């Protein structure tokens, strides 16, 4: 929505490949992953940064849509709060409250432990930093696979007003407003609001509903310079999103278009639905104690709720489901429908204190963090409805809740041993205390171990020390080499399902699972060439995971989380940005990885959502036109073959998606107008595949979408 000029746009596109660029010479990208402002080319870790202008240029509105821009990042959306994100092949495929993600998400340095808090916060973002590999000392919360850090725009020193309007096919609508007011020399306000919706890509024929997703996002922030050395940032956010596009649809048994893998219409018994609401308050205090000493306090409190319904069998062909479940030709109960309802709420609190300092040869920081969450899964409902009878012949009802507390103490120091050599060491101690209660009120088919005699509760504690060591060697002013060893940790947890160990058809044993740990070894380089017109960065890594947590879902056993065993992840990544001349920018990235189970019953299996190869190719050209500038932009993103499951039965063939955009910017730069196309070639692909015994089920990726965008600045 911000005005797109030549310099801003070049910076945005180059951020795609961890190099920020102005035409004919690449410019510096500043990141804060190591808790101090540094040039991206000088940070000895594998990190990708995507800034605000590129996010606006590409029109992305979720973390998942950023995946093609970052080598080594993968995953998929399935509704609003059931997202899967993986870094270098490692992620979490479970969304229950008894576990936690392997990829940590941070908003303005505050840990966001649940997807419901990340769904509606993706607007007015200054930049995204994706830090790859285990992270223990760089963030206040440990992350076993890596971290996704969202940095929002803070109130500035100038009055500004930005208005944006976007309209397109498939019912696309987007309205944006961002205002910044510097009320005094020491106090400023910023308001950001976005409403967006699409509707019409697919139709559910029984209800007549067209698939849609819509959201409203509001963020109000204030910056108060209390004194010359004390700054306060205050933030409030509120989000509301809903969709009816949550179901995987059965392909062979789709009455609307039987056997069509990518249909326009489908039929289920009841319309799907998901709603996600959240709000939060944040306070960040930055106190400059001296020229070399800074104290930061980060406080973050959030509340959210999610309501979810799905016709999980994915079809209105109830006879086929009946035959598949009971094995009786023609059906046993005159047809079977399996609706699933989930719902709950979450409250979280995060507090971190961080002290940093330095001298000519040493930079250091140390901190302590506390995170707590109260989680209540009050609605877990599964029914097996006999179509001929009109009521369930069996049901499942579970209520569960969790109270979790986590603490961390960490420190990190970098010593500039010489003009060429720098050494970094960091250490962290993490502690998790989890109280878990679950009550299986009804489990007629024993899928979750059977009903419990009442509410069962258990408390577990885990703790783990982790560390990192880095050696950085500057071969020249333009080339840097680094080698690192880092460790990560993810706490253990609990299954919603309870076990019946004595065969009396009463479940009395809570099933927990162990923590997940990781150790990464990495060699990398960062280089600037051709008088600043080209940047080439790369890294080679090997990561060993112990007791990787994963979930399986079947009709026989329900959802089960366990430790898969050890996992090996290895590969390399390359990022290239090149400005051959004024007005032309070319870029490319490539990732090659292998993530396989190395022990246990799944030994040799490839992890889900871990493509061996991904790459992106992009170009941007400025052309003088009508007393202004036409900016031509195109990006092709390829995802190689990968599996949707740990059993390696559900494979997605490699596919490529191209996005394009042309923007006119007048010489006044007071407005701009653009035509954008997502998925230009209308490529078909699935974001999720499943099979419960009655054939393949798919959740489809977005089709081609065309829109017009108008942005104005006052």
User: Which DSSP category does 155 fall into?
Assistant: P
pLDDT for the residue 582:
86
The Cα 298–Cα 181 span in angstroms is 24
pLDDT for the residue 612:
93
Phi (first) and psi of residue 600, to 5 degrees = 90, -170
Q: Are 497 and 545 in contact (CB under 8 A)?
A: no
Q: How far is CA 515 from CA 94, 344, 438, 559, in A?
A: 15, 25, 20, 19
Which two structure tokens, joined as six digits, stand for 551? Answer: 């979930």
From 1, 4, 2, select the one nearest 663 (Cα to Cα): 4
Could you report the per-residue pLDDT of 412-464, keeping only the tens digit for each?
999 999 999 999 999 999 999 999 999 999 999 888 889 999 999 999 999 99
pLDDT for the residue 38:
72
Residue 140 DSSP SS3: coil
Q: Are 230 and 287 in contact (CB under 8 A)?
A: yes
Q: Are 251 and 265 in contact (CB under 8 A)?
A: no
Which two structure tokens, joined as six digits, stand for 74? Answer: 């993968």
Q: Residue 453: exposed, middle, or buried by beta-carbon count in 10 A (0-12, 13-18, 19+)? A: exposed
1 part of a folded domain: no
Could you report the per-residue pLDDT of 275-314, keeping only the tens digit for each?
999 999 999 999 999 999 999 999 999 999 999 999 999 9
The Cα 104–Cα 490 span in angstroms is 10
Could you report the per-residue pLDDT of 220-244, keeping only the tens digit for each?
999 999 999 999 999 999 999 999 9
366 part of a folded domain: yes
pLDDT for the residue 637:
92
pLDDT for the residue 531:
87
Mean pLDDT by 10 residues, the chain (714 residues): 37 37 55 71 86 77 83 83 85 83 90 81 85 85 88 94 96 96 97 95 96 95 97 96 92 95 95 94 97 96 95 95 94 95 95 95 95 94 94 95 96 95 96 96 89 95 95 95 94 90 88 92 95 93 90 62 87 93 89 91 89 92 94 93 92 94 95 96 94 93 96 95
Q: How many domains does the chain have?
A: 1
83 part of a folded domain: yes
Global pTM exceeds 0.85: yes
The Cα 399–Cα 405 span in angstroms is 21
- Longest Cα pair distance anywhere in the chain, in angstroms? 82
106 part of a folded domain: yes
Which two structure tokens, joined as six digits, stand for 462? Answer: 């885990």
706 part of a folded domain: yes
Range of 174's domain?
6-713
CATH number of the CATH domain containing 125:
2.40.170.20
């Amino acid at each position: 929505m911000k005005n797109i000029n030549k310099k801003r746009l070049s910076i945005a596109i180059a951020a795609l490949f961890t190099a920020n660029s102005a035409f004919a010479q690449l410019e510096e990208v500043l990141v804060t992953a190591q808790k101090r402002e540094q040039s991206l080319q000088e940070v000895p870790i594998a990190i990708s940064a995507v800034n605000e202008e590129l996010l606006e240029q590409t029109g992305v509105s979720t973390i998942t849509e950023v995946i093609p821009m970052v080598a080594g990042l993968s995953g998929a959306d399935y509704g609003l709060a059931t997202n899967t994100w993986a870094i270098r092949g490692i992620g979490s495929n479970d969304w229950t409250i008894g576990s936690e993600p392997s990829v940590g998400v941070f908003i303005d340095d505050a840990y966001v432990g649940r997807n419901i808090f990340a769904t509606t916060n993706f607007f007015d973002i200054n930049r995204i930093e994706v830090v790859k590999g285990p992270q223990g000392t760089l963030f206040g919360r440990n992350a076993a696979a890596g971290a996704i850090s969202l940095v929002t725009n803070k109130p500035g020193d100038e009055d500004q007003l930005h208005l944006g309007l976007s309209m397109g096919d498939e019912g696309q609508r987007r309205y944006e407003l961002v205002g910044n007011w510097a009320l005094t020399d020491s106090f400023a306000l910023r308001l950001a609001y976005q409403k967006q919706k699409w509707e019409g890509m697919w139709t559910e024929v029984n209800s007549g509903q067209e698939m849609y997703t819509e959201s409203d996002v509001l963020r109000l922030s204030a910056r108060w310079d209390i004194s010359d050395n004390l700054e306060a940032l205050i933030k409030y956010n509120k989000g509301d999103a809903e969709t009816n596009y949550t179901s995987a649809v059965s392909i062979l048994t789709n009455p609307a278009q039987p056997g069509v893998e990518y249909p326009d219409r489908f039929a289920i018994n009841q319309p799907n639905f998901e709603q996600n609401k959240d709000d939060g308050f944040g306070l960040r205090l930055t106190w400059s104690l001296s020229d070399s000493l800074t104290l930061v306090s980060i406080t973050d409190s959030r509340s959210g709720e999610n309501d979810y319904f799905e016709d999980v069998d994915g079809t209105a062909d109830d006879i086929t489901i009946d035959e598949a479940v009971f094995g009786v030709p023609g059906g046993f109960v005159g047809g079977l429908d399996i609706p699933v309802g989930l719902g709950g709420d979450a409250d979280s609190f995060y507090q971190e204190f961080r002290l940093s300092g330095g001298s000519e040869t040493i930079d250091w920081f140390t901190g302590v963090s506390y995170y707590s969450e109260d989680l209540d899964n009050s609605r877990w409902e599964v029914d097996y409805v006999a179509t001929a009878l009109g009521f369930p012949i069996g049901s499942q009802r579970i209520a569960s809740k969790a109270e979790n507390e986590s603490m961390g103490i960490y420190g990190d120091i970098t010593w500039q041993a010489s003009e060429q050599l720098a050494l970094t060491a960091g250490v962290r101690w993490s502690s998790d205390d989890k109280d878990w209660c679950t009550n299986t009120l009804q489990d007629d088919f024993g899928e979750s171990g059977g009903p419990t005699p009442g509410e069962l509760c258990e408390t577990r504690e885990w703790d783990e020390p982790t560390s990192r060591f880095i050696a950085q060697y500057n071969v020249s002013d333009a080339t840097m080499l680094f080698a690192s060893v880092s460790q990560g940790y993810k706490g253990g947890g609990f299954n919603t399902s309870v076990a019946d160990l004595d065969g009396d058809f009463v479940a009395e044993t809570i099933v927990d699972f162990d923590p997940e740990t990781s150790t990464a070894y990495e060699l990398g380089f960062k280089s600037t060439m051709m008088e600043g017109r080209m940047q080439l960065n790369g890294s080679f890594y090997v990561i060993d995971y112990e007791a990787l947590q994963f979930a399986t879902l079947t009709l026989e056993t329900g959802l089960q989380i366990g430790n898969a065993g050890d996992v090996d992840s290895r590969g390399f990544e390359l990022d290239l940005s090149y400005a051959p001349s004024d007005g032309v920018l070319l870029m490319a990235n490539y990732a090659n990885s292998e993530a396989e189970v190395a022990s246990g019953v799944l030994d040799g299996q490839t992890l889900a959502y871990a493509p061996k190869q991904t790459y992106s190719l992009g170009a941007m050209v400025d052309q003088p036109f009508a007393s202004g500038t036409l900016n031509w932009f195109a990006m092709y993103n390829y995802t190689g073959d990968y599996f949707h499951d740990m059993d390696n039965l559900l494979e997605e063939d490699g596919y490529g998606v191209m996005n394009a955009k042309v923007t006119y910017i007048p010489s006044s730069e007071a407005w701009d107008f653009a035509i954008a196309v997502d998925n230009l070639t209308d490529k078909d692909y699935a974001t999720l595949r499943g099979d419960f015994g009655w054939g393949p089920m798919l959740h489809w990726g977005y089709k081609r979408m065309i829109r017009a965008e108008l942005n104005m600045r006052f």
